[in-house]
Structure 1
Amino acid sequence: MLNKYPMWKYLLLGAIVLISLLYAAPNLYGEDPAIQISATRGATVELATLDKVETLLSEANISPKSTVLENGQILVRLTSSEDQLIAREVIGEELGDGFVSALNLAPATPDWLEAIGGAPLKLGLDLRGGVHFLMEVDMDEAVAKAQEQMVQDFRAELREQKIRFRGIRKANTETGIILRFTSQEVLDKAVDYLKPINPGYLFDDAQDNSEFVLTVAMSDEKLKATKEDALQQNLGILRNRVNELGVAEPLVQRQGADRIVVELPGVQDTARAKEILGATATLEFHPVDSETDINDALVGRLPSSSIVYKERDGRPHVIKKSIILTGNHIVDAQSSLDEYGRAQVNISLDSQGGSKMSRFTKDNIGKPMATLFIEYLPTGKKKANGKTEIEKREEIANVATIQAQLGRSFRITGLDNAAEAHNLALLLRAGALIAPIQIVEERTIGPSLGKQNIDNGIKAMVYGLLAVVLFMFFYYRKFGAIANTALIFNIVMIVGLMSMIPGATLTLPGIAGIVLTVGMAVDANVLIFERIREEIKAGKSIQRAINEGYSNAFSTIADANITTLITAIILFAVGTGPIKGFAVTLMIGIATSMFTSIFGTRAIVNAIWGGRNDIKKLSI
């Protein structure tokens, strides 16, 4: 029989309607301004901390909705954004460096909805407020580091094979190194050994003033891979640092070949974020050159294998250039106080780093070892290419005598205060940036502006929906009312799906995508209804006209939506930030609008007019 659905189709439609309503419902309850309090390493959040927070809020005349300690974190729900900012300032000052107080918006979803996984839409920075950083990776420094690593690797490989060489230094090209040998025979032996185990490098040997010189340079592919690795590693390290800051629902993603976007929802005071995100700090452990007199070294008389560095108080030391260990092997770092109340950082190494430290200290008990602290800071000056110059600062944090064989855990001292030790520990835990980065753009969006964006977006959606609903109702009458029902359900489905999808974030352009979907959703119904009108005018029966209207319009609707879907996929693939937000809502909207305009309206039409032969006229 024409225009009749089996019962299972109606049950399926009912189930989809119910699920969509359930997962869209949390958005009706809204969110409470909240503060999320978590501990950094070395501190714990406990009941005493909760009592202290409640006391601080009471003293500040702030009445929270609730304060809860769960999973090692305290969540304080407040009644307004003003109370939220005041409370964060009070709590942050009193609790100190051992705790992170992050602004947040806590869903007011009922427990029964949370139990089935219900949660409100995650809002983007433009709707929630917060800070946006655009950071640029210094690729020149990344290549220079790779060049220094080449010198160390090739020196170690030649020494391991007992191939004698006169010297190794960096080339002026900044992408390679120069090795000098005493004879062509030794040079050929070095090339035969080095070339197979170092793919991606170009080897070129030549005789220069009776010296036999081997130039090794990075190929274009190797250079490109080095820059890509620097960006990807910095990306991962920045994610770790953002997690240490305790910010709720942050965004860290690449933009182009050498830039990274960091968005921190809820953060208004950017000083702490800039300090942690932009800092480039690491440690290197070096043997101390005890054989070279410091006075000779200060006037330039020192071996080529040694270099002079100073402590913070200006006291110089001669250390060897060879590196025992770098900060890349650090897996944990905690700040604490030693037995004399002085700040220190307790270091834990990975297995490879522990093995290196163990081997070196075993053979050097009673000898001094220096901890070199390295950081990169912007100078404020500009390079010829317009980028800010980065200054590399190196100083000795401490020099300690090795008393016993060390393993994967040890400590460093010589820090000024507990705050410096805490920050250094945080940076070392999160990882040292492979190359320096600088903030090239910074935008702060206040909570009030985010609320204004939401209000404006909702107004635009309501006005657009109202205009479409009125047109459809007056032009297509009963069929228009059916299309309007499907349109409203379409919006519910979009909200429900975006609430269910992990990582999906609604931005202001995303609201624009929903508004666009409102027009596209009824477009399919317009095609169907006009086709039904044509079939009736051609003299076909009502049931036949309805059936052929839906059947014949389907191919046109599918073609139009598929081409739009392809465009949305391309936007999502190549776009960043707001463009991705627009693409996501557009893709979801296309899928839901096809479902509601074809399957949804057809089910309602079939339920009202299907199978009836007594219909003489349609309200269309």
Structure 2
Amino acid sequence: MKRVGKPVFFIVALLILVFTYVSLFGVHGQNGDNTITYIKGASDIRWGIDINGGVEATFSPDTEGVKATEDQLNSARAIIELRMVNQNITDYELYVDYNQDHIIVRFPWKNDETSFDPESAIEELSATAMLTFREGNEYATQETDADGNPVYKTPTGTTADSVILEGSDVTSAEAQMYQDPTTGTTQYEVTLQLSEDGAQKFADATERLQGQIISIWMDDTMISAPTVNSVISDDRCSITGDFTAAEASDLANKINAGALPFKLVTTNFSTVSPTLGASALSAMELAGIIGFILVCLIMLIVYRLPGFVAIIALLGQIALCFAAVSGFFPFINSFTMTLPGIAGIILSIGMGVDANVITSTRIKEEINSDKTLDGAIQKGFANSFWAIFDGNITTMMVALILMMVFGPTNILSWIFGASTTGSVYSFGYTLLVGNIGNFIMGVGASRLMLKSVSGFKCFRNKWLYGGAAK
């Protein structure tokens, strides 16, 4: 067996313990009476409706007796969904009642909510969307949405100062299909109908900005950044690109939402009581701590030194799960934690325990067959790897399928309905992260630590690895 340096155990163990502490408690500072969060911890997790309660609101178009069209309602729905997804609220329910001109939405409270005021909670969702066409595509911040796509926010520089069109200049937007004259393939585009004033402004802009970008913004979020190919002198233009049918339709809905001839008003709203409540969540936390302690004791009693190393690796896996949910990593946004999400973490931790049990058992079997300690550790790692790999890879594939099918934007939402979207996605996400953590901690870190600690003379006794006492 290729030896690993003795200090490696202490370095890896210390890094895991520090990471566990920071991911659970975060890093906060104080500026006068204000608390500044430098690194988010478990306390920054946003809990779902089923744990922390939330808000239910019904929106209606302010059309003064004129019935809204189905396209207009779909556009309004698209902008409300866009705002929730941009806030990484995955545990939401969103419905459209076309007969009554109602849009019904349920979403969880913010985790640090103290006033529990439904009016202020829905204000940012019901505010009229501001659609703008701007010169260039300069932005201040970049985030990642729930599907892993980049989201560019807050226009800066020339883009912030130069507004070419506003929502009122766009009469309508429609997704259309056309035949590419070069390749003969079917492509999708978004066609815009401009008002008379908007057509004149757009003609002047496209003449000035040929070969340059005119970006499209919804509030402070960039939703598209097409390049001007030619001067557009009439009241119709098209946005082309490598669109799928769903992407073209989604962009058209968002543009229409910013050009709605009405604003949304709140017909009624109410708070939603949590299914479990704070006391039940505390009970779950207590049960989790007790369960983890029992697992640690069993690992120590049955597997001894490999069990101790496995406990440190499990701490790292748990910390990684919380970090991926809370917003600990700047490149991974926080999102709503639901009961199915907690179930995903628990299941992945169970698989982490299983991975360490398989490895420890294989090492114990090799020692009992009179292998040398180094040979037993090496053979135990080799014999256990593919069993762990197969189990985790198949689970990760299922988690990915759940995320793709039940994610905030997907091709099968219309079949399964909005009520299942966020909760199932949350389960798939935490299960995926937990299994990735199992590979990093249970397969990578634990093996490094065990190979390192076995180099110490005081830890060369085979009994410490499950062998018979001598």
The TM-score normalised by the length of structure 2 is 0.53
8 Å Cα contact 1:507-1:578 kept in structure 2:
yes
Q: Aligned in 2, Cα 1:279/1:601: closer, same or farther, shift over 3 Å?
A: closer
1:528 maps to 2:359: yes
Q: For residues 517 and 355 of structure 1, do their structure 2 counterparts lie closer, same or farther at Cα, with a shift above 3 Å needed?
A: same
Residue of structure 1 equivalent to 2:4: 4
Letter in 1 for 2:291: G
Please give the per-residue CA displacement for 1:27-85, whole angstroms capped at 9, x wherever unaligned: 8x79x9xxxxxxxxxxxxxxxxxxxxxxxxxxxxxxxx9866xxxxxxxxxxxxxxxxx
Which of the pair has more CA radius of gyration?
1
- Measured in 1, the distance between the counterparts of 2:261 and 2:20 equals 44
Contact 1:494 1:585 in 2 (8 A): yes
Contact (CA 8 Å) 2:92, 2:108: kept in 1 or not?
no
Contact 1:280-1:436 within 8 A present in 2 as well: yes
Q: How far is the alpha carbon of 1:462 from its aligned partner?
A: 1.3
Of 429, 432, 444, the residue aligned with 2:272 is 444
Matches within 5 A, 1:4-23: 4-5=4-5, 15=15, 18-19=18-19, 21-23=21-23
Q: Does 1:598 align with 2:425?
A: no
One of 36, 50, 54 as aligned partner of 1:130: 54
- Give the secondary-structure state (helix, strand or coil) at the position aligned to 2:107: strand
Whole-Å Cα distance in 2 between the matches of residues 144 and 605 of structure 1? 66
Give the drift of 1:475: 1.6
Could you tell me whether the CA contact under 8 Å between 1:135 and 1:440 is conserved in 2? yes
Q: CA deviation at 1:571?
A: 1.7
What is the RMSD computed on CA atoms of the aligned residues?
5.1
Q: Does 1:567 align with 2:408?
A: no
Give the Cα–Cα distance (whole angstroms) in 1 for the partners of residues 440 and 311 of structure 2.
Answer: 14
CA shift, 1:507, in A, is 2.4
3-state DSSP of counterpart to 1:131:
strand
Specify which of 90, 104, 121 is matched with residue 44 of structure 2.
121
Amino acid at match of 1:487: L
Q: Residue type of the partner of 2:314?
A: L
Q: Which runs of 5+ in 1 are unaligned?
A: 33-64, 69-107, 147-226, 282-326, 332-350, 360-427
Q: Which amino acid aligns with 1:540?
A: K
CA contact (8 A) 1:136 1:439 kept: yes
| 2:317 alignment partner in structure 1 | 490
Contact 1:457–1:511, Cα closer than 8 Å, also in 2: no
Cα gap change, 1:129/1:517 in structure 2, threshold over 3 Å: closer, same or farther?
same
- Partner AA of 2:260 in structure 1: A
Give the equivalent residue in structure 1 for 2:423. 578
- Give the aligned residue type for 1:2: K
Once the two structures are TM-superposed, the CA of residue 253 in structure 1 deviates from its matched residue by 6.1
The share of aligned pairs that are identical, in percent, is 27
Alignment match of 2:107 (pick from 257, 263, 270): 263
Question: Would the alpha carbon gap of residues 275 and 552 (structure 1) be closer, same or farther in structure 2, given more than 3 Å must change?
Answer: closer
Residue 329 (structure 1) aligns with:
168
Q: Say which SS state the counterpart of residue 272 (structure 2) adopts.
A: strand
Secondary structure of the corresponding residue to residue 463 of structure 2 = coil
Would the alpha carbon gap of residues 433 and 7 (structure 1) be closer, same or farther in structure 2, given more than 3 Å must change?
Answer: farther
Q: Which one has a larger percent strand, Structure 1 or Structure 2?
A: 1
Q: Structure 1's 462 and 434: CA in aligned 2 closer, same or farther, altered over 3 A?
A: farther
Deviation at 1:481, TM superposition (A): 2.2
Q: 1:279 to 1:533 in 2, by over 3 A?
A: closer
Whole-Å Cα distance in 1 between the matches of residues 441 and 377 of structure 2?
17
From 277, 280, 286, the equivalent of 1:459 is 286
Q: 1:269 to 1:433 in 2, by over 3 A?
A: farther
Q: Which residue of structure 2 lines up, in the alignment, with residue 176 of structure 1?
A: none
| Alpha-carbon separation, structure 1, partners of 2:19 and 2:96 | 42
Q: 1:425-457 CA distances to partner (integer Å, 9 max, x unpaired)?
A: xxx9976389999999976136x9642243133
Please report how far the alpha carbon of residue 539 of structure 1 lies from its aligned counterpart in structure 2 after TM superposition.
Answer: 2.4
Contact 2:340 2:424 in 1 (8 A): yes
Distance 2:368 2:116 in 1: 64
Q: Which residue does the alignment assign to 1:319?
A: none
Contact 2:16 2:313 survives alignment (8 Å) = no
The correspondence for 1:502, drawn from 333, 351, 360, is 333
Contact 1:132 1:442 in 2 (8 A): yes
Cα gap change, 1:450 to 1:135, in 2 (>3 Å): farther
Q: CA deviation at 1:234?
A: 2.0
Summarize the Cα distance change of 1:329–1:435 in structure 2 as closer, same or farther, 3 Å threshold: closer
CA distance in 1, matches of 2:300, 2:25: 27
- Give the partner amino acid of 2:26: P
Contact 1:509 1:582 in 2 (8 A): yes
Q: Distance in 2 between matches of 1:434 and 1:239?
A: 18
1:544-563 superposed matches below 5 A: 544-563=375-394
Residues 352 and 468 (structure 1 numbering): CA distance in 2 closer, same or farther, change over 3 Å? same
2:4 and 2:120 map into 1 onto residues whose CA distance is: 64
Shift in Å, 1:608: 2.1
Counterpart mapping for 1:243-282 below 5 A = 261-265=105-109, 266=113, 268-270=116-118
- Say whether residues 1:25 and 2:17 are aligned partners: no
The residue number in structure 2 matching 1:373 is none
Number of the residue aligned with 1:234: 76
1:468 equivalent among 285, 295, 301: 295
How far 1:540 sits from its partner (Å)?
A: 1.5
Contact 1:121 1:506 (8 Å CA) reproduced: no
CA spacing shift, 1:479–1:273, aligned 2, 3 Å: closer
Output the CA distance in 1 between the equivalents of 2:25 and 2:10: 22
Q: How high is the TM-score relative to the length of structure 1? A: 0.42
Structure 2 match to 1:54: none
The 5 Å alignment of 1:49-64 reads: none
Equivalent-residue separation in structure 2 for 1:519 and 1:572 (angstroms): 21
Q: Distance in 2 between matches of 1:561 and 1:117?
A: 28
Three-state SS of the structure 2 residue aligned to 1:517 is: helix
Deviation of 1:610 after TM superposition, in Å, equals 2.9
**Residue 463 of structure 2 aligns to which amino acid in structure 1?**
L
3-state SS of paired residue (1:503): coil
Q: CA deviation at 1:580?
A: 1.8
Would the alpha carbon gap of residues 275 and 534 (structure 1) be closer, same or farther in structure 2, given more than 3 Å must change?
A: closer
Q: Which residue of 2 aligns with 1:300?
A: none
Distance 1:274 1:115 in 2: 28
The amino acid that maps onto 2:55 is V
Cα distance in 2 for partners of 1:438, 1:115 equals 36
Amino acid at match of 1:506: M
Q: Is the 8 A contact 1:131 1:270 kept in 2?
A: yes
Q: Which amino acid aligns with 2:22?
A: L
8 A Cα contact 1:542 1:617, kept in partner:
yes
Aligned length: 321
In structure 1, how many angstroms separate the alpha carbons of the residues matched to 2:87 and 2:425? 20
Q: 1:524: Cα distance to partner? A: 0.5
Gaps of 5+ in 2: 98-102, 130-165, 171-192, 202-255, 407-420
Letter matched to residue 168 of structure 2: H
Alpha-carbon distance change, 456 to 564 in structure 1, aligned in 2, over 3 angstroms: same
Measured at CA, do residues 510 and 270 of structure 1 come closer, stay the same or move farther in structure 2, by a change above 3 Å? same
Matching residue of 1:607: 452
- Alpha-carbon distance change, 560 to 435 in structure 1, aligned in 2, over 3 angstroms: farther
Match of 2:370, SS? coil
Matches within 5 A, 1:372-411: none
Offset, 1:505? 2.9
Q: Which amino acid aligns with 1:234?
A: A
For 2:453, give the aligned amino acid. I
Greater relative CO, 1 or 2 (CA 8 Å, sep 6+): 2
Q: Distance in 2 between matches of 1:117 and 1:614?
A: 38
Return the alpha-carbon distance in structure 2 between the equivalents of residues 584 and 553 of structure 1: 26
Aligned-pair CA distance for 1:554: 0.6
Alignment-derived partner of residue 304 in structure 2: 477
Contact 1:487 1:522 in 2 (8 A): yes
Distance in 2, Cα, partners of 1:475 & 1:526: 10
Q: Tell me the distance in 2 between the aligned counterparts of 1:11 and 1:506.
A: 32
How much does 1:546 deviate? 0.7
